[in-house]
Amino acid sequence: MKTLDYIVVGCGLAGISFCNILKQNKKTVVVVDNAKKESSSMVAGGLYNPLVLKRFTKAWNAEQQLSVALPVYAQLEQDLNITLDYKTPVYRLFASVEEQNNWFEASDNPNLSAYLSPKIIKEVHPHIQNNFGFGKVINTGRIDTALLVKAYKKHLSNSNTLLQEEFDYNSLQIQETCVTYKNYNAKQIIFAEGFGLKQNPFFNYLPLDGTKGELLTLHIPDLDISCVLKSSVFLIPLGNHYYRLGATYDWKDKTTQPTLASKDALLQKLNRFLTCKFTVVNHFASIRPTVNDRRPLVGAHPKYHNVYALNGLGTRGVMIGPYVAQKLYDAIEYKTPLDNTIAISRYNKLLFP
């Protein structure tokens, strides 16, 4: 039997963020992950952006999240010897004069002015057509989340701390002072399974809805831009004339099967502003771990004080993952109370009606 500080289930943005804190604090861990290719972190566009570009408002806690998240990715880049953070502005395509006016108003707001350039940009590239111009958002970028997951798993595997398997809930024994899973004994277990939480008998009472999203990888030989374009879709440069186009939002379909309807919808939106030829080279789908009230799900199980959830990263896992992982670690190790907006205790009534 191996004795550890933690068992972490799930090696996506949530699990990796938590393991990174464990490493810094010299805690021992084993990670259990079923290696699903269509996990949310493997498919994500990876954008981080402190604004909600539909309404030109700030996203929930965006500044605190970014100030925690960006140093974490920088640290992971060093530890794993890879490039993860591609800092790039986002150009918002305006659909009307009214949107231009809303942009001017927002860029005047001292709360938002650090992120919005007040100037309207007329042209980004000859093959990007937009009658009402573009607004530039700064302090934004993309994290290569798929590369992060692959590299992190390799790093865990090299140190014999990765179990590539479906977590067997029946093999978990919970005692007052520890948890035991197969040959591992740990002080606590963290479930960071993304949408996989639906199968977790401890936490499946939580209102994790899940929102399916689809993305395409395109090759656009005549387009050479390094900024992200945002209309009703994102076009994200990956380098060498490859781009990621996304994403769709489907609240009904809970499969990870790519669909022709979503592909057509994405391409129709792209064709409204792209005027050159392209080929579709890949098509992905996954389920975002979204929650009814759009806030993360963090904290101890109401009955078992050493069994925790780290979930509900929703549509913004890149920014939220490192932030909530730190909150959970502080709650466990330093007894820092979790804010009610993220604590799963807000849903205790669902378990004890």
Could you tell me which stretch among 123-131, 133-141, 171-179, 283-291 binds ligand FAD (CB under 6 A)? 283-291
CA-CA distances (angstroms) from residue 279 to 15, 134, 220, 282, 315? 35, 25, 7, 9, 27
Contact 29, 184 (CB under 8 A): no
First to last CA, the chain: 39
Task: Give min distance, CB of 126 to ligand FAD, in A.
Answer: 27
Q: Which of 50, 135, 246, 258 binds ligand FAD (CB under 6 A)?
A: 246
For ligand FAD, which is the closer residue by CB, 12 or 133? 12
Size of the site for ligand FAD (CB under 6 A): 42
DSSP 3-state of 33: strand
Q: Does 213 bind ligand FAD (CB under 6 A)?
A: yes
Could you tell me which stretch among 75-83, 195-203, 269-277, 340-348 binds ligand FAD (CB under 6 A)? 195-203
Task: Give min distance, CB of 100 to ligand FAD, in A.
Answer: 25
Q: Does 322 bind ligand FAD (CB under 6 A)?
A: no
Sign of CA dihedral 326, 327, 328, 334: positive
Task: Give min distance, CB of 337 to ligand FAD, in A.
Answer: 22
Q: Does 315 bind ligand FAD (CB under 6 A)?
A: yes
Say which amino acid occupies 182: K
Q: Please tell me the total number of residues recorded for the chain in this structure.
A: 353
Q: Does 182 bind ligand FAD (CB under 6 A)?
A: no
Task: Give min distance, CB of 321 to ligand FAD, in A.
Answer: 6
- Rounded distance between C-alpha atoms, residue 101 and residue 215, angstroms: 31
- Rounded distance between C-alpha atoms, residue 41 and residue 44, angstroms: 5
Task: Give min distance, CB of 119 to ligand FAD, in A.
Answer: 25
Q: Which of 300, 316, 332, 347 binds ligand FAD (CB under 6 A)?
A: 316
- Rounded distance between C-alpha atoms, residue 328 and residue 308, angstroms: 9
Q: Does 162 bind ligand FAD (CB under 6 A)?
A: no
Could you tell me which stretch among 101-109, 122-130, 188-196, 270-278 binds ligand FAD (CB under 6 A)? 188-196
Looking at residues 221 to 240 of the shown chain, list those that interact with ligand FAD (rule: CB under 6 A): none
Looking at residues 26 to 65 of the shown chain, list those that interact with ligand FAD (rule: CB under 6 A): 32-34, 36, 39-41, 43-47
And the tokens for 124?
């980004």
Alpha-helix runs per DSSP H in the chain: 13-24, 40-43, 62-80, 97-108, 145-158, 260-270, 317-334, 348-351
Closest to 160 (Cα-Cα) out of 13, 24, 4: 4
Q: Does 190 bind ligand FAD (CB under 6 A)?
A: no
Residue 324: phi and psi, rounded to 5, are -75, -30
Q: Does 256 bind ligand FAD (CB under 6 A)?
A: no
Q: Site residues (CB under 6 A) for ligand FAD? A: 9-15, 32-34, 36, 39-41, 43-47, 166-167, 192-196, 199, 213, 215, 246-247, 286, 288-289, 311, 313-319
